[in-house]
Amino acid sequence: MAQMRAVDIKNGTGPATSLHITSLPKPTPSPGQALIKIKAFGLNRMDLLQREGRYPVPPQAPKTLGVEFSGTIEEVNGDGGKEGFKAGDEVFGLAYGGAYAEWIVVSVRMILKKPEHLSFVEAAGVPETWITATQALYLIGEFAEGKSVLWHAGASSVSIAGIQLSRVGKASNIYITAGSQEKIDFCTHELGATAGFNYKTTDWASEILKATDGKGVDIIVDFVGAPYFQNNLKVAAKDARIVQLGFMGGSKLPEGVDISGFLLKRVRYEGSSLRSRDEVYQGRLRDRLEEWVGLFGEDGKGEGKDGGGKGLKVYVDKVFKWEDVVEAHRYMEGDGSKGKIICTID
């Protein structure tokens, strides 16, 4: 059986230092799948959790980490889908797992052709991040032109995408929270957020209510969880949507939490994940992402409100060779990044 190199975890789970490159069987595409030679893959926080044994991996996922990638098609089993994918096509896409490797097999339903103006590094940072932001903003948040949005963890990859999608979708105001003035400036000056609030030094909920004349925000996208639950209800506008995508701060609410805002403001609170969804659901989001692809690129003028650009930009914070995957995971754990962390395979 043909072999390939792939990242594995010593003893199945462990710290970043447990990651190492080993040999695994090279996958073979089933009907409707493509075999892709990977050029680059993106890191996501779920990778850290999965490495530690704290992430519910879907049953169809291989044990190898990684859900987003870019590369070149080596083989297609079948007709190549409606796009007619064929060997030699440069693509990027979303998988249930297996991207930390030299080759991956994935449904042709979940890949897109890479535009020439996007590098393999940039393209590898698009699928999980931008599909998640699209899901949160449009499918769950029910965003429409003129609504206001609050993106917590403003300098995280999903929020970076979400801020830009909110901007090109003509949100009335876009607010963010972040843990440093540097990150706030990045979100406001570079991405086009209306205002940002430092959760370490200010009462962000009170500041947002001041900024909105007490009306609050229409859509709130949160990754923090329990510590923000009460304040999210506080800043929610009438008929607001609160979208929960993670629990970085914990999932158990303290005693005394007041849930009256749900009734008084008619708030809808909904949690969601992407990886556990079936291919039909993910495929609909992939099709929505395809609508944005033409707006990506260095000439997209995605530099925010000062530039007035209508384009979208993939912000890559740091690139590692995949042999340095341990350092890449440690860097993500440091919480200092603004944008995607990408590993490349020579």
CA distance 59 to 172: 41
Same domain, residue pair 160 and 219:
yes
Same domain, residue pair 153 and 70:
no
Same domain, residue pair 136 and 254:
yes
Q: Is residue 276 part of a domain?
A: no
164 C-beta neighbours (distance < 10 Å), count: 29
Let me know: does 313 contact 303? Beta carbons within 8 Å: yes
Instruction: Say how many domains are in the chain.
Output: 2
Same domain, residue pair 111 and 26:
yes
CA distance 29 to 219: 41
- Domain of 159, CATH number, reads 3.40.50.720
Same domain, residue pair 48 and 89:
yes
Same domain, residue pair 146 and 252:
yes
Q: Which of 243, 271, 299 is the last residue of a domain?
A: 271
Question: Would you say the pTM of this structure is higher than 0.85?
Answer: yes
Q: Which of 206, 238, 271 is the last residue of a domain?
A: 271
Q: Which of 209, 236, 271 is the last residue of a domain?
A: 271
Contacts of 287 (CB under 8 A, 6+ apart): none
Same domain, residue pair 164 and 144:
yes
CA distance 324 to 83: 35
- Domain of 122, CATH number, reads 3.90.180.10
Extract the tokens encoding 253.
Answer: 């609410």
Range of the domain at 72: 3-126+314-344
State the SS3 of the chain: CCEEEEEEECCCCCCHHHEEEEEEECCCCCCCEEEEEEEEEECCHHHHHHHCCCCCCCCCCCCCCCCEEEEEEEEEECCCCCCCCCCCCEEEEECCCCCCECEEEEEHHHEEECCCCCCHHHHHCCHHHHHHHHHHHHHHCCCCCCCCEEECCCCCHHHHHHHHHHHHCCCCCEEEEECCHHHHHHHHHHHCCCEEEECCCCCHHHHHHHHCCCCCEEEEEECCCHHHHHHHHHHEEEEEEEEECCCCCCCCCCCCCCCHHHHHCCCEEEECCCCCCCHHHHHHHHHHHHHHHHHECCCCCCCCCCCCCCCECCCEEEEEEHHHHHHHHHHHHCCCCCCEEEEECC
Q: Is residue 107 part of a domain?
A: yes
Extract the tokens encoding 289.
Answer: 């992402």
Q: Is residue 179 part of a domain?
A: yes
Same domain, residue pair 78 and 196:
no
Q: Is residue 283 part of a domain?
A: no
> Could you read off the pLDDT tens digit of each residue along the chain, which spans 346 residues?
799 999 999 999 999 999 999 999 999 999 999 999 999 999 999 999 999 998 888 888 899 999 999 999 999 999 888 889 999 999 999 999 999 999 999 999 999 999 998 999 999 999 999 999 999 999 999 999 999 999 999 999 999 999 999 999 999 999 999 999 999 999 999 999 999 999 999 999 999 999 999 999 999 999 999 999 999 999 999 999 999 998 889 999 989 999 999 999 999 999 988 877 878 888 888 888 888 887 886 444 444 343 345 689 999 999 999 999 999 999 999 988 888 999 999 9
